[in-house]
């Protein structure tokens, strides 16, 4: 008697954002989500983290997870090999272009507050005058002048405005400098400028190529507009219940919030 073939793997690659998606309060991953990912990996799927955070701000999370795969960091600018502790790819942002973009935005809406993520494995996040860091557990260095932000290579600029909300600032920035840089909203109080052509989809595509996985075998989880390119690249996009309305509008599925183990709910259904 011939045995039945094993069931087909629902997805070969599981791409998860971190903040507002996989992570809960305090940069933690719940036991339920951890077990659901472990079950999916045991079935043959691969898990890849795709985050707006640069490598220095995510390594503590990877260490806690015992994560040894590839991670797409810095909004797609970096592909990091966690097992070897090295960057496979890193795209820096032209600092003169960053200054020009800020100047054009300020000509439209007045003063903005800026910060930068520097380039490299042990780089720092520099906070300019007026910029408020909403994640106090992440290390930052405050500098006294805007010009100090450009002291070393960077991979992105973060913006805040004293009056405009995130949606308004993103809309204005895209209208003014969208032809020069990539503008995205990555989280609450987090509007960012990246090098042109850099987003989560470009970083995920490069990492997936290394892993030998195609878009049609990928499921992606996210919560903010910066996840829209990743959803467009993947076969199936799952938005969290706490997701921004722009991401919900393009999602294939809506799950529970990050605090309610929304990723685990979907993976348990798919992988048992």
pLDDT one-digit tens code per residue, 203-230? 999 999 999 999 999 999 999 999 999 9
Top-confidence residue, 24 or 138: 24
Does residue 4 surpass a pLDDT of 60?
no
Give the phi and the psi of residue 22 in degrees, each rounded to 5. -85, -40
Give the model's pLDDT for residue 7.
56
Rounded Cα gap, residues 136 and 155, in angstroms: 21
Structure tokens at 154: 């960077």
Per-residue pLDDT tens digits for 52-111: 999 999 998 999 889 999 999 999 999 999 999 999 999 999 999 999 999 999 999 999
**Which pTM value belongs to this model?**
0.94
Rounded to 10 deg, the angle between the 95-109 and 166-177 helix axes is 120
Are 119 and 153 in contact by the 8 Å Cβ rule? The answer is: yes
Nearest to 99 by CA among 77, 76, 128, 75: 128
pLDDT for 5: 43
What gap in Å lies between CA 182 and CA 67, rounded to an integer?
29
> Edge-to-edge strands of the sheet including 253-254?
86-90, 78-81, 70-73, 46-50, 13-16, 218-222, 236-239, 253-254
pLDDT at 2 over 80: no
Provide the mean pLDDT of the chain: 94
- What is the tens place of the pLDDT at every residue in 223-258? 999 999 999 999 999 999 999 999 999 999 999 999
What's the token pair of residue 129? 């005058």
DSSP calls for the chain: -PPPPPPPPS-SEEEE-IIIII-BTTTB--HHHHHHHHHHHHTT-EEEEE-SS-GGGTHHHHHHHT--SEEEEGGGTEEEETTTTEEEEE-PBPHHHHHHHHHHHHHHHS--EEEEEESSTT--EEE-TT---S-TTS--EE-SSGGGGGSS-EEEEEEE-SSS-HHHHHHHHHHHHTTTSEEEEEETTEEEEE-TT-SHHHHHHHHHHHHT--GGGEEEEE-SGGGHHHHHHSSEEEE-TT--HHHHHH-SEE---GGGTHHHHHHHHHH-
Query: 184-199, pLDDT tens digit by residue?
Result: 999 888 999 999 999 9
What percent of the chain has a predicted confidence (pLDDT) above 90?
Answer: 90
């Amino acid at each position: 008697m011939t045995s039945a073939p094993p069931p087909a793997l629902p997805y070969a690659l599981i791409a998860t954002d971190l903040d507002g998606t996989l992570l809960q309060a305090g940069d933690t991953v719940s036991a339920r989500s951890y077990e659901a990912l472990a079950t999916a990996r045991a079935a043959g799927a691969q898990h890849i983290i795709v985050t707006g955070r640069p490598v220095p701000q995510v390594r503590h999370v990877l260490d806690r997870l015992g994560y040894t795969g590839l991670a797409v960091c810095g909004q797609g600018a970096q592909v990091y090999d966690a097992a070897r502790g090295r960057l496979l790819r890193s795209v820096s942002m032209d600092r003169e272009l960053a200054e020009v973009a800020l100047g054009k935005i300020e000509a439209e809406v007045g003063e903005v507050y800026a910060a930068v993520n520097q380039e490299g494995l042990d780089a720092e996040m520099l906070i300019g005058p007026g910029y408020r860091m909403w994640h106090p557990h992440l290390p930052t260095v405050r500098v006294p002048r805007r010009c100090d932000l450009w002291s070393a290579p960077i991979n992105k600029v973060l913006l805040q405005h004293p009056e405009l909300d995130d949606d308004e600032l993103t809309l204005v920035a895209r209208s003014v400098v969208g032809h020069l840089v990539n503008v995205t909203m990555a989280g609450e109080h987090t509007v960012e400028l990246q090098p042109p052509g850099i987003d989560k989809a470009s970083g995920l595509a490069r990492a997936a190529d290394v892993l030998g996985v195609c878009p049609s075998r990928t499921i992606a989880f996210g919560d903010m507009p910066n996840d829209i390119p990743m959803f467009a690249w993947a076969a199936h996009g799952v938005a969290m219940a706490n997701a921004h309305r722009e991401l919900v509008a393009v999602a294939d599925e809506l799950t529970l919030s990050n605090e309610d183990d929304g990723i685990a709910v979907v993976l348990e259904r798919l992988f048992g």
